[in-house]
Structure 1
Amino acid sequence: MGFLQLDNGILRVAINPFGAELSSLRHRGGGELLWQGGEPWHRRAPILFPLVGRMPGDRLVHNGVAHPIGQHGFARDLPFELGQNTETSAEFTLADSAETRRQFPFAFRLAVRFSVEGETLSIRHTVDNPGSETFSASIGGHPAFAWPLVEGLAPESHVLEFAQDEPAPIRRLADGLLLPDAVETPVRGSTLALDESLFAADAIIFDGLRSRSVRYSAPGAPALTVRFDDFPLLGLWSKAPGAFLCIEPWYGMTAPRDFAGEYAQKPGQFVLLPGESRSFTYSVTVQNS
């Protein structure tokens, strides 16, 4: 199956059923706003489930049994089934299988609904527990936006503006795992001046945010507002020489470097009892320059 197109006359979106991955985002009359893959990162906007980040040794331990699971889980690497769709919305689903149970030993159903309304793209992730066993998990978005937003603009002319002042320290990683000590935030007031040097030590993780939205902009370029009411954490990441900035709403994050417990004990995850479900939505609103 090829990419599915959504178009409301203002936004035009493409979704790859493999991984239910957002693959293109354009505003009427404008250029591509999403990174299109390439060196040094070939993805565009993968879904992170049932794990955000890594586990030590890339192992998930449940009831004393270790299950191998890679960084960010497996949803991004599996085909989803297309359900109901219209010109402006589409839903994709992924259910557990023998393959997923080798990594995550639980029954689940993940439905991802994309919809465009006005200048806003909304992405809703609904996780169901149809099984007889309680499980915990993490989920997140990983959209990579063009950086610079318009060809020819200097990357350092771009800023992120949080909805509120953000004085809380940030967290950093080593080998993809969480370091124990927080460090001073690079945000000044509510503004983060963007520069490639911010990501020399991998991602920036905000785990004490006041804001539930952030605006990404530069003079003479469209502005993107990412809203993430259902996600308590935010990650930012880029990697030279890639021309992208990942703005990542997360529920849960990578394991602490010294974590050695059962997966259910990993900090920051959501829990679903048998028969329960929970939805997590983030949105991207485009204001053309």
Structure 2
Amino acid sequence: MADLIDIASSGLSAAINPFGAELTHLRDADGRELMTDADPAWWTGHAPILFPIVGRLNGDLLRIDGNDYPMKQHGFARRMPFAVVDRAPDRAIFRLTDCEETRAVYPFAFALDIAFALDAATLRIEASIGNRGTAPMPASFGWHPAFAWPLPYGQPREDHRILFDTDEPDPLRQIVPGGLIGPAPRPSPLDGRTLHLRDDLFTNDALVWDPVRSRRATYGAPAGPQLDIAFPDTAKLGIWTKPGAPFICIEPWHGIADPEGYGGDIRDKPGIVEIAPGATWSCALDVTLRS
């Protein structure tokens, strides 16, 4: 594993792995861990970066302009080394650019920057995707942070919940075996704006809001410190764990898995942003510890 890059503020400290530009630790001022411990008995991820796709493609094939390219679930960024292009005590920027390996599966010239910055009790992460080529570039992007469940403040696991900041009246998407999106909707498990976390919610994979109307959610137990998670630029949201695991993933996405049977061009799929030549598309994720 590459050496972790440490940053800190008065209220938080973070450690990022340049392999995948993956947030690996987020700790409060007393050193208590707010992220998963990545126990391999459950899942070895911490907060993978999802690019250039989110979810699974039908047949694990990326279809672009009449050509098919092999593409694993959630794309390749999480499995590649990023360069550290800027570093200070409270911030760091990581960059992935196209290479022979990426162009074999995604035929575009790109630069993906992931910037981390701490300010008091807030961690801001910003992704910027630049198109360095001469043709419009289709892409999706997703965040996948896994927070400790329970948080390290002595509150019972069963007391933890996620509170959305606005009403979410829509049914959810249904993930079918194989990881694609099925045609039937899934009834919403919300109690008003509250998702009471239970293991049986995740027996059949993630909960998927498409669209999600909220731009902020609060995670934790009401009697203890909580995490305020803001996602101003992403219109879909996944929440996932493995039943019994000591983490919960709160995943704002700009993108989604293929519908069952989809065989069209990636440019025509919902959740794709097309980035013009020379342009950059950005999205942010803020995590704030509320006492």
TM bracket, shorter-chain basis: over 0.9
Q: Secondary structure at the match of 1:198?
A: helix
1:192 lines up with 2:189 in the alignment: no
Report percent identity of matched pairs. 42
Q: Secondary structure at the match of 2:101?
A: helix
Distance, in Å, in 1 between the alignment partners of 2:162 and 2:10 is 27
Contact 2:17 2:23 in 1 (8 A): yes
**1:217 aligned partner:** 220
Cα deviation for residue 241 of structure 1 reads 3.4
Distance, in Å, in 2 between the alignment partners of 1:223 and 1:153 is 11
Aligned residues: 288
Distance, in Å, in 2 between the alignment partners of 1:136 and 1:66 is 14
Cα deviation for residue 190 of structure 1 reads 0.9
Distance, in Å, in 1 between the alignment partners of 2:86 and 2:152 is 34
Distance, in Å, in 2 between the alignment partners of 1:221 and 1:76 is 32
**1:56 aligned partner:** 58
Name structure 1 gaps, 5 residues minimum. Answer: none
Distance, in Å, in 2 between the alignment partners of 1:221 and 1:51 is 36
1:275 equivalent among 275, 278, 285: 278
1:256 lines up with 2:267 in the alignment: no
Q: Secondary structure at the match of 2:201?
A: helix
Tell which deviates more after alignment, 26-35 or 198-207: 26-35
**2:185 aligned partner:** 182
**1:127 aligned partner:** 129
Contact 2:220 2:226 in 1 (8 A): yes
Cα deviation for residue 210 of structure 1 reads 2.0
Cα deviation for residue 222 of structure 1 reads 2.2
**1:3 aligned partner:** 4
**2:243 aligned partner:** 240
**2:21 aligned partner:** 20
Name structure 2 gaps, 5 residues minimum. Answer: none
Contact 1:53 1:253 in 2 (8 A): yes
Alignment of 1:92-241 (within 5 A): 92-150=94-152, 153-174=155-176, 175-241=178-244
Distance, in Å, in 2 between the alignment partners of 1:115 and 1:190 is 30
1:29 lines up with 2:24 in the alignment: no
Cα deviation for residue 82 of structure 1 reads 0.1
Q: Secondary structure at the match of 2:267?
A: helix
Tell which deviates more after alignment, 247-256 or 213-222: 213-222
TM-score by length of 2: 0.96
Tell which deviates more after alignment, 147-156 or 55-64: 147-156
Distance, in Å, in 1 between the alignment partners of 2:159 and 2:131 is 45
Distance, in Å, in 2 between the alignment partners of 1:105 and 1:207 is 28
Distance, in Å, in 2 between the alignment partners of 1:225 and 1:137 is 27
Contact 1:140 1:250 in 2 (8 A): yes
TM-score by length of 1: 0.97
Contact 2:266 2:272 in 1 (8 A): no
Q: Deviations over 1:59-95 (max 9, x none)?
A: 0112222100000000000000001111111100000
Distance, in Å, in 2 between the alignment partners of 1:270 and 1:25 is 30
Contact 2:150 2:246 in 1 (8 A): yes
Contact 1:169 1:208 in 2 (8 A): no
